Amino acid sequence: MKKKFNLFHPQYAARSWFVLFNTIFFILLMAVMIIPIYKIFCDSMVNQTVYGLNLLPRGLDPETNEIAWFNVIAYKRIITDPALYHPFWVSVYTTLLTTFLGLLISTLGAYVLIQRDMPGVKLFGYLLLFTMIFNGGLIPTFLVMKRVGLLDSIWAVIVPTSMNVYNLVLMRSFFEGIPASLFEAAEIDGCTPMGIFIKIVLPLSKAALASIGLFFAVAAWSEYFHYVIYIKSSDKYNFQYKLRDLFQDKQDASEGTKINVNTLKSAAVIVSVVPFMFIYPFCQKYFMTGVTMGAVKE
């Protein structure tokens, strides 16, 4: 491959111009992707009513009348106000629970589905697939939740999120890649099905567990609508719900306090984004494993 970069050499010019424009294009595209988040980050550090074009995390502090860098007053409010930090903990533990339960259901289901000689396994597969194309709908599901007594319980949010047929099928396709000879050998050694599952299947599927586990974690962290319909008590709201509440409430959340309402909103957005911002660069390859795994299936 020719890799010389020269805008005016006749042999390389066309390619070089393309590389130049491609680079500029992606720099701009990255800016478009990042600026909205970056702007919110800056605004969360500026406790004043004017924002406009300011793209630095600093602003005039109305208290001291001085330019202040990294004014974290809104963050202080979030970590000291129980109405704001409690939902964060709800988010954390529902995410952990959903991820655990989701992986449990997906691996168990997938492990059973790869038993080709098992009577009824096809039925199980079809039963799972059918839920992907048809469901009872909002109200009937609500009424079932009511019947089983899960209304206003975080399990009403956790359990349906944990049962994700798409992830289960993904897991199955991963398990199918495990050589059958391993199962046979273990069986001859006298391993029980559960023993094979724990000693062979799970250790060989670490990448799939990480990848699908992250899918569950993202879904659980982002969960909002289930809280709207199933959760009534304010101590069970998660952070997404609280964030949305800040934006919708006609009463000014910051009225009376010294924090500008937009600063508070911006800080809340950043707080809800931060956990995944931290783990995302380290886990990117697992996310991509999951997607390409699905793509191959399709």
Binders of another protein among residues 20 to 59 (CB under 8 A) are: 22-23, 25-26, 29-30, 32-37, 39-40, 43, 49-53
8 Å CB contact between 77 and 256: no
Q: Which stretch binds another protein (CB under 8 A): 19-27, 92-100, 178-186, 201-209?
A: 19-27
Q: Total residues contacting another protein (rule CB under 8 A)? A: 128
- Rule CB under 8 A: choose which of 12, 100, 183, 276 binds another protein: 276
185 is a contact residue toward another protein (CB under 8 A)? no
94 is a contact residue toward another protein (CB under 8 A)? no
- Rule CB under 8 A: choose which of 20, 79, 96, 143 binds another protein: 143
112 is a contact residue toward another protein (CB under 8 A)? yes
Compare residues 88 and 287 and give the one whose CB is closer to another protein: 287
Q: Which stretch binds another protein (CB under 8 A): 67-75, 178-186, 203-211, 215-223?
A: 215-223
6 is a contact residue toward another protein (CB under 8 A)? no
- Rule CB under 8 A: choose which of 90, 264, 272, 286 binds another protein: 272
Question: In sequence order, which ranges of the chain are alpha helices (DSSP H)?
Answer: 13-44, 73-80, 82-113, 121-133, 138-147, 155-162, 165-175, 180-188, 193-196, 202-204, 206-222, 225-230, 239-248, 261-297
Restricting to residues 118-137, which ones interact with another protein according to CB under 8 A?
A: 118-137
Question: Could you write out the DSSP letters of every residue in 128-192?
Answer: HHHHHH----HHHHHHHHHHTT-TTSTHHHHHHHH--HHHHHHHHHHHTTS-HHHHHHHHHTT--
Question: In the chain, how long is the greatest CA-to-CA distance?
Answer: 79
From CA 41, how far away is CA 49, in angstroms rounded? 15
Restricting to residues 56-75, which ones interact with another protein according to CB under 8 A?
A: none
Minimum separation from the CB atom of position 70 to another protein (A):
19
Q: Which stretch binds another protein (CB under 8 A): 68-76, 92-100, 177-185, 275-283?
A: 275-283
CA distances from 177 to 201, 208, 247, 266, 289 (A): 10, 11, 47, 45, 14
218 is a contact residue toward another protein (CB under 8 A)? yes
From CA 27, how far away is CA 25, in angstroms rounded? 6
